[in-house]
């Protein structure tokens, strides 16, 4: 896909960046770092064989845009409560990414057969994600699935 598009500064800032003077560059660098953390945890061979991956609270694609190459073999789904972020992602990355606006209440509007492998949850969505899981939203409860939480800040968690 060549040079991957980057969102405007206001969408980059919305999901948290470390460098306010260069929010788009920081957005890109943080997403690349998060991708490497996922690969270190899961292994690059994990992203084969038709896996489904959900980035819950994806914003404008800080992490998702770094997995566009893997989206040929896996289904990458992103959801966020911010409609402008999802609109931007849809315009620039759909396909190959599947993105949708979600609400703050449980129910990700995914079919039951969509059992997902990895969930990335940003700091702003973490409490809602735990609430959804506690309320019985099993979208992330895949057999051999993983739940990955990334909190942006001076140190990654």
- Whether a cis peptide bond, with omega within 30° of 0, leads into 24 is no
Q: How many CB atoms lie within 10 A of CB 60?
A: 30
pTM given for the model: 0.75
Quote the CA–CA distance of 43 and 65 in Å, as a whole number.
18
- Map out the domains of the chain as residue ranges: 9-149
| Distance from C-alpha of 19 to C-alpha of 71, rounded to nearest angstrom | 29
**CA-to-CA distance for 32 and 91, rounded, in angstroms?**
21
CATH topology of domain 9-149: Rossmann fold (3.40.50)
* Best CA proximity match to 80, nearest among 103, 98, 97: 103
Query: Which residues of the chain register pLDDT less than 70?
Result: 1-2, 105-157
What pLDDT is stored for residue 73 in this prediction?
84
Predicted local confidence at residue 154, as pLDDT: 47
* Cβ-proximal residues to 11 (8 Å cutoff; 6+ apart), any chain: 59, 60, 84, 85, 88
What does the chain come to in residues?
Answer: 157
Instruction: Give 3-44 pLDDT, tens digit per residue.
Output: 899 999 999 999 888 899 999 999 999 999 989 988 888 887
């Amino acid at each position: 896909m060549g040079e991957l598009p980057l969102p405007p500064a206001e969408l980059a800032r919305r999901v948290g960046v470390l460098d306010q003077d260069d929010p788009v560059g920081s957005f890109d660098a943080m997403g690349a770092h998060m991708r490497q953390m996922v690969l270190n945890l899961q292994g690059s061979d994990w992203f084969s064989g038709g896996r489904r991956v959900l980035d819950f609270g994806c914003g404008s694609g800080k992490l998702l845009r770094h997995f566009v190459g893997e989206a040929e073999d896996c289904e990458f789904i992103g959801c966020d409560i911010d409609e402008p972020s999802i609109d931007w992602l849809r315009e620039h990355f759909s396909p190959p990414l599947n993105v949708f606006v979600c609400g703050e209440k449980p129910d990700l509007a995914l079919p039951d057969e969509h059992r997902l492998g990895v969930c990335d949850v940003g700091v702003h969505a973490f409490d809602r994600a735990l609430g959804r899981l506690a309320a019985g939203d099993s979208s992330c409860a895949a057999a051999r699935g993983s739940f990955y939480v990334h909190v942006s800040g001076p140190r990654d968690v």
